[in-house]
Amino acid sequence: MGAISFTIETRAPLGARAGLLHTPHGVIRTPAFVPVGTKANVKGILPEQLKALGADVVLANTYHLYLQPGEKVVQDAGGLGKFMNWDGPTMTDSGGFQVFSLGAAFGKTISKFVKEEAPKEEGVAVYDEDVASQHGQLAVIDDEGVSFTSHLDGSLHRFTPERSVEIQQTLGADIFFAFDECTSPAAEFAYQREAMERTHRWAERSLKTHRQNIDANKKQAIFGIVQGGRHEDLRRESAREIASLGFDGIGIGGSFSKEDMRGALQAAVNELPEELPKHFLGIGEPGDILEGIANGMDLFDCVAATRIGRHGSIYTKRGIIHLKNGSYQNDFSPLDPETPVIGVEGFTRAYASHLVRSGEITGSVICSIHNIGFILNLVQEARQAILGGRFDEYRQEFLQRYKK
C-alpha cells in the first residue's frame, strides 16, 4: 500500500464526486479547499482556527521554505506539520510556479490567468524592485532545471527535479508535487509545447527520484502536474503522458485565460484515470472552484482568500465587497449575513471597515479568517450537495446569487 489511498464515495451525473483521501496524518474529505501557508503559516490564522473553520489540510511553498528557514530546520523540528503546530495532513508545491514568477512573469502583472492583474506579493512574484534593477530576470530555465537569484539576498541557487523532490522529502509533507514549468498564459503555442515537454521530462525525473527513496516513498505521495496552457490539444497530450507515469495523484497546473479554463480543464480530465485524486492548482475564486468540482477536481489551493482579506475585501454569497469603501462605515450588518464564520461571526462590516481603513492588523485578520471560512464552507456545502444528489442544483443556485 502506498502513502495515500483515495476512495470515491459518490459520483454526481456530470463529473463531480465526493471522496475520502487517506494520508499518514489524517483524512481529507473531498472536494476540499487547501489553505495556503506559504512560509509554513496561513497569514493571520492560527492552526487551531483553521481546524475550527473546517480545514483538513494545508499547503506550504517549497521555494520559500528552502530559502528561509531552510529545509533542514523544518526537518529538525519534526517535519512541516510539527514545525507549524499543525497535526493534520500537509502538502508542498514544487517551486515550479516560482520558476514562472521569477522568469517569464518577473516584473509584470501576469498571473496564471490572462486579463487579471497579479498583486505584488505572496508568490505571484513581482519582487523587490531594487533586486530587479540589479539582476533583471531572476530565473533562467534550461532543460536540466532552473538557476535563480534569491529575492531575499541576491544569492544564486539551482533547482532541478531531483533537488526539488529532495527538498520536499526533507520538508516531510504527506503529499508533494513533481517539479514543473508553469508558463505565462500569454506565451506562444510553440513555447507552451516546449515547456510542456520539459515538464514531462521533469516529471519522470521527479518520480524516479522519489521512488528510489524507499523510506520517503512509504510516507509521502507524489502528484504529477499537467501543463499545456490554454490549448486543449496540449492539455490532452500532457494528461495522457502524466497519467502514464504512475503518480499517486494528478495536479492540473495553470495557465489559461478565464474564458479557456473550462475547455482546458475538461480536455485534461477526460484523459486522466478516474480513480486518482486530482488537484486544481492555484484556483480559489468561488465560481472557479465550483467549475472545477463539476469537472471532477478534488482539491484546490489558492492564496486569494487571505490576500484579498489583508486588503479589506471579503467574500459574501452576493459577491466580493471592499470594506475600505466609505459606504460600509455605517453598515452594522454581519460580514456576510448568509455565511456566519466561526470566530468572526460577531463582527460587523462597519467595525471591519473601520479597522482596515485605519490600517489596524486586526481588520486584516478578521477579513482573512472570514474569507478562509467562506471558501471552506463553500466546498463543504458542495460536498454535502454531491452526497445528497443535488450538486448541480446547489451550483446553479450559488452562481445565480454570486456576482464576481
Which tens digit of pLDDT belongs to each residue from 154-175?
Answer: 889 999 999 999 999 999 999 9
**Which pLDDT band, with edges at 50, 70 and 90, does 103 fall under?**
low
pLDDT score of 358 more than 50: yes
Task: Give the span between the Cα atoms of 304 and 181, in whole angstroms.
Answer: 21
State mean pLDDT over 24-45.
97
State mean pLDDT over 7-23.
95
Chain mean pLDDT for the chain: 90
Task: Give the span between the Cα atoms of 352 and 362, in whole angstroms.
Answer: 8
Q: What is the pLDDT of residue 107?
A: 42
Per mean pLDDT, which range of 136-145, 186-195, 303-312 is the poorest? 136-145
Per mean pLDDT, which range of 70-74, 119-123, 371-375 is the poorest? 119-123
Catalytically active residues are: 93, 301
Neighbouring-strand partners of residue 300:
33, 280
Task: Give the span between the Cα atoms of 162 and 169, in whole angstroms.
Answer: 11
pLDDT score of 147 more than 80: yes
Give the residue from 270, 273, 180 showing the smallest Cα distance to 228.
180
173 backbone dihedrals φ, ψ, rounded to 5° = -65, 155
State mean pLDDT over 133-155.
78
Q: What is the pLDDT of residue 102?
A: 62
336 in helix, strand or coil? coil
**Which pLDDT band, with edges at 50, 70 and 90, does 137 fall under?**
low
C-alpha cell of residue 257: 485565460
**62-78 as b/e: b if 16+ CB within 10 A:** bbbbbbeeebeebbebe
- Give the position of cell 490600517: 359
Q: Residue 127, Cα to own-chain centre: how many angstroms? A: 20
- Percent of the chain surpassing pLDDT 70: 89
State mean pLDDT over 53-81.
97
366 in helix, strand or coil? helix
C-alpha cell of residue 392: 448541480
pLDDT score of 33 more than 80: yes
Provide the H-helix boundaries in 213-359. Answer: 214-219, 232-244, 261-269, 286-294, 304-310, 349-358
pLDDT score of 234 more than 50: yes
Q: Domains of the chain by range and CATH?
A: 5-302 (3.20.20.105), 310-401 (no CATH)
Q: What is the pLDDT of residue 404?
A: 59
C-alpha cell of residue 36: 495556503
pLDDT score of 134 more than 80: no
